[in-house]
Amino acid sequence: MKISILDDYHDTLHTLPCFQKLTGHDITVWNDHVQDEDALVERLKDTETLVLIRERTKIRGSLLERLPNLRLISQRSVYPHIDIEACTRLGIIVSSNMHADTPSYAAAELTWGLILAAMRQIPQQMSALRAGKWQIGVGNTLRGKTLGIYGYGRIGKVVAGYGKAFNMNVVIWARAASLAQAQADGYAVASSKENFFATCDVISLHMRLHEATRGIVTAADLARMKSTALIVNTSRAQLIETHALEHALQTGHPGMAAVDVYEAEPVLDITHPLLKMENVVCTPHIGYVSRDEYEIQFTDIFDQIVAYAGGHPSNVVNPDVLRNKR
Protein backbone atom coordinates (compact mmCIF):
# COMPACT_ATOMS: atom_id res chain seq x y z
CA MET A 1 0.00 0.00 0.00
CA LYS A 2 0.96 3.60 -0.54
CA ILE A 3 1.09 5.12 2.96
CA SER A 4 1.50 8.83 3.74
CA ILE A 5 2.37 10.12 7.20
CA LEU A 6 1.73 13.80 7.90
CA ASP A 7 3.32 16.21 10.39
CA ASP A 8 6.22 14.11 11.68
CA TYR A 9 7.95 17.36 12.66
CA HIS A 10 11.21 15.85 13.91
CA ASP A 11 11.41 12.86 11.53
CA THR A 12 11.02 10.56 14.52
CA LEU A 13 8.71 7.77 13.40
CA HIS A 14 11.18 5.87 11.25
CA THR A 15 13.47 5.58 14.30
CA LEU A 16 10.82 3.80 16.41
CA PRO A 17 10.93 0.00 16.70
CA CYS A 18 7.23 -0.20 15.77
CA PHE A 19 7.97 1.37 12.35
CA GLN A 20 9.12 -2.07 11.22
CA LYS A 21 5.47 -3.12 11.20
CA LEU A 22 5.14 -1.21 7.91
CA THR A 23 7.98 -3.07 6.17
CA GLY A 24 7.07 -3.82 2.56
CA HIS A 25 4.76 -0.83 2.13
CA ASP A 26 5.48 2.30 0.08
CA ILE A 27 5.82 5.00 2.75
CA THR A 28 6.14 8.77 2.39
CA VAL A 29 6.73 10.87 5.51
CA TRP A 30 6.13 14.63 5.56
CA ASN A 31 7.98 16.61 8.23
CA ASP A 32 6.45 20.04 7.70
CA HIS A 33 2.90 21.14 8.48
CA VAL A 34 0.58 22.02 5.59
CA GLN A 35 -3.11 22.84 5.83
CA ASP A 36 -3.67 24.33 2.38
CA GLU A 37 -6.07 22.00 0.58
CA ASP A 38 -4.45 22.18 -2.85
CA ALA A 39 -1.04 21.39 -1.36
CA LEU A 40 -2.47 18.43 0.56
CA VAL A 41 -4.17 17.10 -2.56
CA GLU A 42 -0.89 17.23 -4.43
CA ARG A 43 0.88 15.39 -1.62
CA LEU A 44 -1.81 12.78 -1.04
CA LYS A 45 -3.24 12.18 -4.53
CA ASP A 46 -1.87 8.61 -4.73
CA THR A 47 -2.24 7.79 -1.04
CA GLU A 48 -4.20 4.71 -0.03
CA THR A 49 -3.58 4.92 3.73
CA LEU A 50 -3.16 8.17 5.62
CA VAL A 51 -1.48 8.27 9.04
CA LEU A 52 -2.25 11.27 11.24
CA ILE A 53 -0.38 12.45 14.31
CA ARG A 54 -3.20 13.43 16.63
CA GLU A 55 -5.05 16.58 15.50
CA ARG A 56 -2.27 18.41 13.69
CA THR A 57 -3.98 18.46 10.27
CA LYS A 58 -7.70 18.95 9.66
CA ILE A 59 -9.15 16.41 7.23
CA ARG A 60 -12.35 17.92 5.83
CA GLY A 61 -14.89 16.66 3.31
CA SER A 62 -13.73 18.93 0.50
CA LEU A 63 -10.23 17.46 0.78
CA LEU A 64 -11.45 13.86 1.00
CA GLU A 65 -13.54 14.25 -2.16
CA ARG A 66 -10.32 15.03 -4.06
CA LEU A 67 -8.49 11.91 -2.84
CA PRO A 68 -10.07 9.05 -4.84
CA ASN A 69 -7.40 6.51 -3.86
CA LEU A 70 -7.71 6.98 -0.10
CA ARG A 71 -9.14 3.94 1.66
CA LEU A 72 -7.98 4.16 5.29
CA ILE A 73 -7.16 6.85 7.84
CA SER A 74 -5.27 5.44 10.81
CA GLN A 75 -4.65 7.42 13.99
CA ARG A 76 -5.10 7.27 17.77
CA SER A 77 -7.44 9.06 20.18
CA VAL A 78 -10.25 11.52 19.44
CA TYR A 79 -11.02 12.77 15.94
CA PRO A 80 -12.72 16.20 15.88
CA HIS A 81 -10.33 17.12 13.03
CA ILE A 82 -11.72 14.43 10.71
CA ASP A 83 -15.01 14.71 8.79
CA ILE A 84 -16.31 11.27 9.74
CA GLU A 85 -19.57 11.68 7.83
CA ALA A 86 -17.66 12.42 4.62
CA CYS A 87 -15.38 9.44 5.21
CA THR A 88 -18.38 7.14 5.58
CA ARG A 89 -20.08 8.59 2.50
CA LEU A 90 -16.93 8.18 0.43
CA GLY A 91 -16.14 4.67 1.67
CA ILE A 92 -13.05 5.61 3.70
CA ILE A 93 -12.43 3.64 6.89
CA VAL A 94 -11.29 5.59 9.96
CA SER A 95 -9.45 3.48 12.52
CA SER A 96 -8.63 5.07 15.87
CA ASN A 97 -7.84 3.26 19.10
CA MET A 98 -9.49 5.27 21.89
CA HIS A 99 -7.20 3.72 24.58
CA ALA A 100 -9.88 4.13 27.26
CA ASP A 101 -7.89 2.07 29.76
CA THR A 102 -4.42 3.51 29.17
CA PRO A 103 -3.56 6.98 30.53
CA SER A 104 -0.98 9.16 28.83
CA TYR A 105 1.73 9.20 31.47
CA ALA A 106 3.66 11.59 29.22
CA ALA A 107 0.84 14.16 29.44
CA ALA A 108 0.51 13.64 33.20
CA GLU A 109 4.24 14.12 33.69
CA LEU A 110 4.28 17.28 31.58
CA THR A 111 1.35 18.61 33.62
CA TRP A 112 3.37 18.16 36.77
CA GLY A 113 6.42 19.69 35.14
CA LEU A 114 4.37 22.77 34.28
CA ILE A 115 3.03 23.01 37.83
CA LEU A 116 6.55 22.99 39.26
CA ALA A 117 7.87 25.35 36.58
CA ALA A 118 5.12 27.91 37.17
CA MET A 119 5.08 27.75 40.97
CA ARG A 120 8.86 28.07 41.24
CA GLN A 121 9.21 30.49 38.29
CA ILE A 122 11.77 28.19 36.66
CA PRO A 123 11.57 29.54 33.06
CA GLN A 124 11.58 33.16 34.25
CA GLN A 125 14.51 32.60 36.60
CA MET A 126 16.47 30.83 33.88
CA SER A 127 15.80 33.62 31.39
CA ALA A 128 16.90 36.23 33.93
CA LEU A 129 20.08 34.31 34.75
CA ARG A 130 20.99 34.23 31.07
CA ALA A 131 20.47 37.99 31.00
CA GLY A 132 22.92 38.50 33.87
CA LYS A 133 20.38 38.82 36.69
CA TRP A 134 20.32 36.87 39.96
CA GLN A 135 17.07 35.76 41.69
CA ILE A 136 14.31 37.88 40.20
CA GLY A 137 11.52 36.77 42.51
CA VAL A 138 10.23 34.39 45.18
CA GLY A 139 8.36 31.24 44.18
CA ASN A 140 5.89 29.02 46.02
CA THR A 141 6.13 25.45 47.30
CA LEU A 142 3.41 22.83 46.81
CA ARG A 143 3.39 20.99 50.14
CA GLY A 144 0.19 21.72 52.05
CA LYS A 145 -1.43 23.55 49.13
CA THR A 146 -4.74 22.47 47.58
CA LEU A 147 -4.61 20.83 44.15
CA GLY A 148 -7.88 20.83 42.21
CA ILE A 149 -8.36 18.24 39.49
CA TYR A 150 -11.16 19.22 37.10
CA GLY A 151 -12.13 16.01 35.31
CA TYR A 152 -11.32 12.72 37.01
CA GLY A 153 -10.47 10.55 34.02
CA ARG A 154 -7.41 8.60 32.94
CA ILE A 155 -4.92 11.46 33.17
CA GLY A 156 -6.63 13.32 36.00
CA LYS A 157 -6.28 10.25 38.24
CA VAL A 158 -2.53 10.08 37.59
CA VAL A 159 -2.01 13.79 38.28
CA ALA A 160 -4.05 13.47 41.48
CA GLY A 161 -1.67 10.72 42.59
CA TYR A 162 1.31 12.97 41.94
CA GLY A 163 -0.35 15.59 44.14
CA LYS A 164 -0.59 13.15 47.01
CA ALA A 165 3.11 12.33 46.60
CA PHE A 166 3.85 16.04 47.09
CA ASN A 167 1.69 16.10 50.24
CA MET A 168 -0.92 18.37 48.66
CA ASN A 169 -4.58 18.37 49.58
CA VAL A 170 -6.26 16.96 46.47
CA VAL A 171 -9.83 18.00 45.63
CA ILE A 172 -11.84 16.77 42.64
CA TRP A 173 -14.57 18.41 40.55
CA ALA A 174 -16.15 16.51 37.68
CA ARG A 175 -19.40 15.00 36.44
CA ALA A 176 -21.39 12.96 38.97
CA ALA A 177 -20.08 9.52 38.00
CA SER A 178 -16.47 10.70 38.17
CA LEU A 179 -17.04 12.36 41.54
CA ALA A 180 -18.38 9.08 42.88
CA GLN A 181 -15.28 7.27 41.59
CA ALA A 182 -12.99 9.90 43.12
CA GLN A 183 -14.65 9.47 46.50
CA ALA A 184 -14.33 5.70 46.20
CA ASP A 185 -10.61 6.23 45.52
CA GLY A 186 -10.31 8.25 48.72
CA TYR A 187 -10.24 11.79 47.36
CA ALA A 188 -12.19 14.77 48.62
CA VAL A 189 -14.70 16.35 46.25
CA ALA A 190 -15.64 20.01 46.13
CA SER A 191 -19.04 21.06 47.44
CA SER A 192 -19.66 23.08 44.28
CA LYS A 193 -17.94 24.34 41.17
CA GLU A 194 -17.85 27.82 42.70
CA ASN A 195 -16.15 26.54 45.86
CA PHE A 196 -13.69 24.52 43.77
CA PHE A 197 -12.43 27.57 41.87
CA ALA A 198 -12.41 29.82 44.93
CA THR A 199 -10.41 27.55 47.26
CA CYS A 200 -7.85 25.67 45.14
CA ASP A 201 -4.26 26.88 44.90
CA VAL A 202 -3.61 24.91 41.71
CA ILE A 203 -6.29 23.79 39.25
CA SER A 204 -5.46 21.35 36.45
CA LEU A 205 -7.90 20.64 33.62
CA HIS A 206 -8.32 17.03 32.47
CA MET A 207 -11.39 16.64 30.24
CA ARG A 208 -12.05 15.60 26.68
CA LEU A 209 -13.28 18.37 24.42
CA HIS A 210 -16.82 17.92 23.08
CA GLU A 211 -19.89 20.13 22.89
CA ALA A 212 -20.77 19.64 26.56
CA THR A 213 -17.29 20.69 27.75
CA ARG A 214 -16.54 23.48 25.27
CA GLY A 215 -16.18 26.68 27.33
CA ILE A 216 -16.95 24.80 30.54
CA VAL A 217 -14.46 27.03 32.40
CA THR A 218 -15.99 30.50 32.28
CA ALA A 219 -14.71 33.99 32.97
CA ALA A 220 -16.71 33.91 36.22
CA ASP A 221 -14.94 30.71 37.28
CA LEU A 222 -11.52 32.23 36.69
CA ALA A 223 -12.47 35.44 38.49
CA ARG A 224 -13.15 33.39 41.64
CA MET A 225 -9.58 32.07 41.76
CA LYS A 226 -7.07 33.43 44.25
CA SER A 227 -4.54 36.01 43.12
CA THR A 228 -1.86 33.50 44.13
CA ALA A 229 -3.47 30.56 42.30
CA LEU A 230 -2.30 28.71 39.19
CA ILE A 231 -4.43 27.20 36.42
CA VAL A 232 -2.89 24.51 34.22
CA ASN A 233 -4.26 23.33 30.88
CA THR A 234 -2.67 20.40 29.07
CA SER A 235 -6.02 19.15 27.71
CA ARG A 236 -7.63 21.51 25.18
CA ALA A 237 -7.68 25.31 25.00
CA GLN A 238 -11.37 25.33 24.08
CA LEU A 239 -12.32 24.02 27.53
CA ILE A 240 -11.85 27.63 28.64
CA GLU A 241 -14.22 30.32 27.36
CA THR A 242 -12.63 32.16 24.43
CA HIS A 243 -10.27 34.96 25.55
CA ALA A 244 -11.33 34.48 29.19
CA LEU A 245 -7.91 33.27 30.32
CA GLU A 246 -5.98 36.21 28.91
CA HIS A 247 -8.40 38.68 30.50
CA ALA A 248 -8.37 36.87 33.85
CA LEU A 249 -4.58 36.89 34.02
CA GLN A 250 -4.53 40.61 33.26
CA THR A 251 -6.86 41.24 36.19
CA GLY A 252 -4.83 39.03 38.53
CA HIS A 253 -7.31 36.22 39.17
CA PRO A 254 -5.76 33.72 38.84
CA GLY A 255 -2.24 34.98 39.32
CA MET A 256 -0.57 32.41 37.07
CA ALA A 257 -1.21 30.00 34.22
CA ALA A 258 0.68 27.16 32.55
CA VAL A 259 -0.60 26.04 29.16
CA ASP A 260 0.36 23.46 26.55
CA VAL A 261 -2.66 23.95 24.26
CA TYR A 262 -4.05 26.83 22.19
CA GLU A 263 -7.18 27.81 20.26
CA ALA A 264 -5.32 27.57 16.93
CA GLU A 265 -2.22 25.45 16.49
CA PRO A 266 0.60 25.60 15.70
CA VAL A 267 1.30 28.94 17.38
CA LEU A 268 4.00 30.64 15.32
CA ASP A 269 3.12 34.26 16.09
CA ILE A 270 5.45 35.53 18.81
CA THR A 271 2.94 38.27 19.65
CA HIS A 272 0.38 35.75 20.90
CA PRO A 273 -1.04 37.25 24.14
CA LEU A 274 -0.07 34.32 26.38
CA LEU A 275 3.53 34.41 25.15
CA LYS A 276 3.83 38.06 26.19
CA MET A 277 2.75 37.51 29.81
CA GLU A 278 5.40 37.07 32.51
CA ASN A 279 2.97 35.13 34.71
CA VAL A 280 2.41 32.40 32.11
CA VAL A 281 4.51 29.34 31.29
CA CYS A 282 3.87 28.11 27.74
CA THR A 283 4.88 24.93 25.92
CA PRO A 284 4.03 23.97 22.29
CA HIS A 285 1.54 21.10 22.80
CA ILE A 286 4.16 18.57 23.85
CA GLY A 287 2.08 16.70 26.42
CA TYR A 288 2.16 13.48 24.42
CA VAL A 289 5.42 14.17 22.58
CA SER A 290 7.91 11.70 24.03
CA ARG A 291 9.63 8.72 22.44
CA ASP A 292 7.98 6.31 24.87
CA GLU A 293 4.52 7.71 24.18
CA TYR A 294 5.13 7.69 20.44
CA GLU A 295 6.06 4.01 20.57
CA ILE A 296 2.80 3.23 22.38
CA GLN A 297 0.66 5.35 20.07
CA PHE A 298 2.18 4.29 16.77
CA THR A 299 2.21 0.62 17.68
CA ASP A 300 -1.58 0.97 17.76
CA ILE A 301 -1.69 3.05 14.57
CA PHE A 302 0.52 0.69 12.59
CA ASP A 303 -1.30 -2.38 13.95
CA GLN A 304 -4.50 -0.89 12.53
CA ILE A 305 -2.85 -0.67 9.12
CA VAL A 306 -1.64 -4.26 9.34
CA ALA A 307 -5.15 -5.38 10.32
CA TYR A 308 -6.67 -3.51 7.36
CA ALA A 309 -4.11 -4.97 4.95
CA GLY A 310 -5.05 -8.41 6.26
CA GLY A 311 -8.70 -7.82 5.51
CA HIS A 312 -9.81 -7.28 9.11
CA PRO A 313 -10.06 -3.54 9.88
CA SER A 314 -9.78 -2.76 13.61
CA ASN A 315 -10.93 0.07 15.88
CA VAL A 316 -13.27 1.35 13.16
CA VAL A 317 -15.03 4.48 14.38
CA ASN A 318 -17.40 4.64 11.38
CA PRO A 319 -18.64 1.02 11.12
CA ASP A 320 -21.33 1.90 8.57
CA VAL A 321 -18.52 2.35 6.04
CA LEU A 322 -17.87 -1.40 6.05
CA ARG A 323 -20.98 -1.86 3.87
CA ASN A 324 -19.64 0.61 1.32
CA LYS A 325 -15.86 0.65 1.66
CA ARG A 326 -13.64 1.47 -1.30
Mean pLDDT within 222-233: 98
pTM (two decimals):
0.91
**DSSP-derived secondary structure letter, 241:** P
What's the average model confidence in pLDDT over 62-81?
Answer: 96
Positions marked catalytic: 236, 265, 285
The string of pLDDT tens digits covering residues 29-50 is 999 999 999 999 999 999 999 9
User: Which residues fall within 8 angstroms of residue 172, CB to CB, at 6 or more apart?
Assistant: 148, 149, 152, 156, 160, 178, 179, 182, 187, 188, 189, 190
How large is the average pLDDT for residues 161-183?
A: 97
- The CATH label, of 3.40.50.720, 3.40.50.2300, 1.20.1090.10, 3.90.550.10, for the domain at 105-282 is 3.40.50.720
The whole-number average pLDDT for the span 251-266 is: 96
In the predicted structure, residue 65 carries a pLDDT above the cut 80? yes
What is the arithmetic mean of pLDDT over 181-206?
A: 98
Whether residue 206 has pLDDT greater than 70? yes
Considering the chain, tell me which residue range(s) the CATH 3.40.50.720 domain(s) occupy. Answer: 2-100+291-324, 105-282
Sheet holding 2-5, edge to edge: 26-29, 2-5, 49-51, 72-76, 93-97
The 169-173 sheet, strands edge to edge = 188-189, 169-173, 146-150, 202-205, 230-233, 256-259, 280-282
Question: Is residue 100's pLDDT more than 70?
Answer: no
The stretch 105-124 carries a mean pLDDT of: 97
Count of CA atoms in the C-beta half-sphere (13 A) of 274? 25
Please state, rounded to an integer, the average pLDDT across all residues of the chain.
Answer: 96
Given this model, what pLDDT does residue 60 score? 97
Q: CATH homologous superfamily for 2-100+291-324?
A: NAD(P)-binding Rossmann-like Domain (3.40.50.720)
Report the pLDDT value the prediction gives residue 99, as an integer from 0 to 100: 79
Judged against a pLDDT cut of 70, whether residue 196 lies above it is answered with: yes
pLDDT at residue 101 greater than cutoff 80: no
pLDDT at 198: 98
Quick check: 103 pLDDT over 90? no
Render pLDDT for 284-312 as a digit per residue (tens, 0 to 9).
Answer: 999 999 999 999 999 999 999 999 999 99
